[in-house]
């Protein structure tokens, strides 16, 4: 588990954390790119949108390996949101709008994405 203050520059801590997880669980490096992008996007969303870049609020990241899968839970201390309201960034009307790209990438690069706790927690699972 790692806990980071909601300061945007703290996103750099994710790389060291993930390298440790890959070493600990002996995960093939071919999966690293997809995991890194997905988890970085989730943590970035938690810092900026969930916790509003409030350094007094934290983002919590847990990992768990089960059989041939690894899952990550990223939680923030914000007010939450309805994941159904995330715009589809591939629709023509949204191509130039900000918003939705990170979640879109999480869905494309992982095997499962589930929001819970009123949108304050996202679980991202990868087959390894």
Q: In what order do the strands lie in the sheet with 121-127?
A: 2-5, 58-66, 69-75, 121-127, 112-116
Tokens of 85: 């309201």
Q: Write the pLDDT tens digit of every residue in 1-30.
A: 999 999 999 999 999 999 999 999 999 999
CA distance 47 to 9: 10
Is the overall model pTM greater than 0.85, yes or no? yes
- State residue 102 phi and psi, 5-degree precision: -60, -45
Phi-psi map region of 100: left, alpha, beta (phi>0 left; psi -120 to 50 alpha): left
**Please, are residues 90 and 100 in contact by the beta-carbon 8 Å criterion?**
no
Q: How far is C-alpha 54 from the chain's CA centre?
A: 18
> Taking the domains of the chain in order of start, what are their residue ranges?
2-127
Domain 2-127 falls under CATH 3.40.50.300: no
For the stretch 22-76, pLDDT in tens is 999 999 999 999 999 999 999 999 999 999 999 999 999 999 999 999 999 999 9
Closest to 110 in 3D by CA, of 5, 30, 34: 34
């Amino acid at each position: 588990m790692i806990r980071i203050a909601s300061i945007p520059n703290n996103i750099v801590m994710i790389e060291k954390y993930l390298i440790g997880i890959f070493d600990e669980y002996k995960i093939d490096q071919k999966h690293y790119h997809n995991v890194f992008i997905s988890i970085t996007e989730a943590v970035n969303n938690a810092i900026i949108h969930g916790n509003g870049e409030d350094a007094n609020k934290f983002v919590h990241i847990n990992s768990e390996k089960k059989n041939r899968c690894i899952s990550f839970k990223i939680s923030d201390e914000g007010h939450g949101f309805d994941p159904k309201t995330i715009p589809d960034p591939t629709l023509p009307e949204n191509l130039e709008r900000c918003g939705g790209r990170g979640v879109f990438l999480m869905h494309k690069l992982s095997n499962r994405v589930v929001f819970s706790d009123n949108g304050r927690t996202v679980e991202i699972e990868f087959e390894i």
